[in-house]
Structure 1
Amino acid sequence: MPHGLPRKIRIAFILQVVMASLAIVVAFYVVAILFKYSFIQKTLQDEAQHYWQLHQASPVQPPPNTYNLRGYLVETGYSSLSLPAGLRELEPGFHDLEEDGQLVWVDRQQAGTLYLVFLRSQATRAALWFAVLPAMLALFAIYGATWFTYRSSQRLVSPVAWLARLVGRWDPRRPDVAELAPERLPADVQGEARQLAQALHALGERVQAHVSRERNFTRHASHELRTPLTVIRMASDVILSDDSLAPRVARGVQRIQRAGRDMEAVVDAFLILAREPDVAPQSEWFQVCEVVEQEVDNARLLLGDKPVKVEVDCQRQPMLFAPPRVLHVVLGNLLRNACHYTDRGQVRVVVDAAEVTISDSGIGMSQETLDNAFEPFYRGAPERPQGTGLGLSIVRRLCERFGWQVDLMSTPDRGTTARIHFGSGVGPAPGADVPA
């Protein structure tokens, strides 16, 4: 977890230490400058004032001469040749003689001119002891407090980080929730972290139970739904084998057969959608045009007496590797929609090398209806009794499951065009070597 909570806390403390260090370094520099040019200047000025007071009481009072301070007095009317060369041309005030390493205060009175010299090295040493050293001690104190706080914070967030790493290693399809069982949690996982682990453990168990129920339901539903459909198909075959059957009855039984096959295709499609995405369904190579012809025959029965003509144009003869009943469901839903919403004109199905296009001259769809057409239970024309609003939603889910692309284009009162693009699942035409 490259951007986990421990790393963020570590970065925050590092930034805190860096900012504190920069602030104290700047403070070092400012304090040193102030000490050198403010404190020393004020000290020399006070020394000069004190000397003149002593000089007024006793004119023979010699200038200051200590370890840190040198004093020179040039009485009024006397030559300044007795001064060091660097001091002779200085005007009254404070001077920083960098070349000579001296800080000089020149104070001129009626009795004469006083020169007080403070060595720069002494000023630097004083600044170190009285300003920089305390600041360094403060910096080390900040470092120590920051390190102690960081270690304490690290101990506090370590259980949460451990929990995040554990959950991050889970396989989403088969999470090992037993690792979060209360008896398997480390002793240092306490408080809110333990509550979170227990909540995840309970949630994981519920999800596993739900998945197990869904898997069992899918297995049982597959068996229970296929059994009556098989009985219907076999019974209709037996009825149709009677040569004395009336034509009207025979047509009705044939419709029952087709409805049974459609129901089997829908059951297969729903079971495919209910499976895990990594569970590959049983697929085979089949002719796309054959499926189109079968679904078009079923669609013609839906038209009844409508003045609508259904045409098929197989410009190519592609083969597709997929469950055939899935394509039956996809084409069946699209053709039923085209027939339901077309009152006159035609429905045309074109099969190309890698796609099937279904165009109609029906009522069409507005842009709002087109944007929501694939939403479950959405119906663009609720005044029409056909449909539940699930057909196009199922079509999209099935196409996404097999890597197909389905698109809708429509203009109100001019019709709708649905296109299914199969992509890489299309195989060679009949007569060529079909992949195994």
Structure 2
Amino acid sequence: MTTLTISLWDFSWYTRTGPGEPFEDLDRAFAEAVERGYDTVRICAMPYLLFGSGLDTSALTFAPFGRGYGLRTRWHDVRETAVIDGRAHLLALFEAARAHGCRVIVSSWEYQQSPAFLADPSWHEALRAVPAQRRAMALADALAELVGFLAVHGLAERIAFVELHNEVQTTALTEMLSPCESPVLGLRPYLEEAIAAFKARHPGVPVTANYAGVPVGELRGVPGNVDVAVFHPYVYGVLDELVDSFALRDASVPFPQERARLELLRPDAPDLEDWAPEQEWRLAATIVSRREVYVHDWCDPARFDRWLYDRYATYRYGMAEKLRLWIETAADWAAERGLPLVLGEGWVGYTPLHGMFEEGPVGAEICLEAVGHARRVAAWGTVVCSNAAPQHPMWADLDLQRRANTLFTEGR
């Protein structure tokens, strides 16, 4: 089985297509990926929007959030308005992949954040209208239609495998579960039913669901009928301390505005309560918290990085061990079931667009360690890092990406 060297293009391949944006020219983006040693891209293929929502997708408008909101974050930094024909753009991506000898991992971020980038709430509302118990099946049906559409155009052979959804346990797929129920364990019957339905229509296309982190202690919740074991080992460590210290993901705790000004923010930063997109509905259409966007938008990236570097020594060993143990655990679970292992995202965590912690010397070392583990456990595929894609500054570091991809494919 040929290895997959994966670049994470997520939803940026359609949200960032305006003038001067990284995906304005898909052919160029693939050429640059191959130059860096990649042979696979992983995308949100917007399956429900294109093949389940019933919406007219012939002129989809993707636009900035307005007021500069999100422009210094990763993934949310849409800078130009773009209008695309959704299905035609999907075909263009697969045609470019074929021209450059690349494969595509077909996924969905729709129950996490993709709809937030459309200029109107129709996509978000269509997804919310699906009863929670039916959402996994609705995605399976839409993905089956998408694969059939690609097959008609002779492009389905470019699919590496299909993911029902990205990081299923952190999505709106879980809304029918009780608050005390484990999302990983509770989702299993719904995911198994949906995967079985997809397999009935496309038995030759590998299908799976993927997980945030490696759910150690709950791996029995992964559906028994997946064809690929896919996990995203973000270890956080020192970044967790920052997230917790500034309550970036816990709205039940007051935001420490003055401490943030003292330790992280630029002098011209507004207060948190004064920072929001022009359209309120967008906040409900993304899982990234308003607080996290605010700190990423208004931090001084050097201060943010220094905060992490100052504390990293305390976490270094633990982060390295967690990464190793998670990858080994995932590999062992996959091997026992005879499944290929893919690390489709991972390493440290969500940092500001211009923060260099994961692009700098510490992050580069973590990338090489992680890719080395992936090679050692004979993973089928891995990323260099989640930030190694055209929409991130790390794309400019050709040497690191080539080194990591060569390490994975050739062991050197």
Report the TM-score range of the alignment, normalised by the length of the smaller protein: under 0.3
More helix by share: 1
Larger radius of gyration between Structure 1 and Structure 2: 1
TM-score, normalised by the number of residues in structure 1 = 0.20
The higher relative CO (CA closer than 8 Å, separation ≥ 6) is in: 2
TM-score, normalised by the number of residues in structure 2 = 0.21
